[in-house]
Amino acid sequence: MSLENGKRSRQQHPPTIQQVQDQIRSTCDDIIHFCTQQTGITFYHAEQALRINISSLACLFFQLFLMSFHDRFDYSAWLEKGEYYKGPLTSRTLTTIYGEVRYWRTYLIRKEGGGFYPVDAGIGLTGDGFSPLVMSLVTR
């Protein structure tokens, strides 16, 4: 991600945690470079550019947080009972106050039909695709 485009990747497979960390570092370096370069832009334009890029950076931090939570998540409580088995890793886009965040999580399939995403339930996310803060702000 660069300050020029401010867009996140739409890849079909999850990045590694290291790749997200590298992207965060690169984005921070881009923002620092933007703030310290000698240009003739106005404060208004700088503020617009920084708002976009700081929001993108926040989304990368959310992605890192969600990926790390997924990697540490313990599925054994469901798998040991024999009622569920691990399904596919599925992507989801979550709308946060900073923008959209794409992350991947494992679907648990119930042997008798149905299933759910225990990571979403464990972290307090509902199926509507909005973060708790976005839902709170919208309902006010």
Distances 121 to 39, 44, 70, 71 between C-alpha atoms, Å: 47, 41, 11, 15
The 3-state DSSP class for residue 95 equals: strand
**Which residue from 80, 85, 82, 71 is spatially nearest to 116, judged by alpha carbons?**
85
Percent of the chain past pLDDT 90, that is, above it, reads: 79
Cα(139)–Cα(130) distance, integer angstroms: 12
Residues of the chain whose pLDDT is less than 70?
A: 1-11, 38
The 3-state DSSP class for residue 90 equals: strand
**HEC readout, 73-88:** CCCHHHHCCCCEEEEE
Element (H, E) at 48: helix 43-72
Q: What pLDDT, on the 0 to 100 scale, is given for residue 4?
A: 42
What single-letter DSSP state applies at residue 5? Answer: T
Q: What pLDDT, on the 0 to 100 scale, is given for residue 11?
A: 59
pTM equals 0.84
Distances 1 to 7, 49, 61, 72 between C-alpha atoms, Å: 6, 13, 13, 27
Cα(15)–Cα(17) distance, integer angstroms: 7
Q: What pLDDT, on the 0 to 100 scale, is given for residue 57?
A: 97
Q: Domain residue spans in the chain? A: 17-72, 76-139
Q: What pLDDT, on the 0 to 100 scale, is given for residue 40?
A: 87
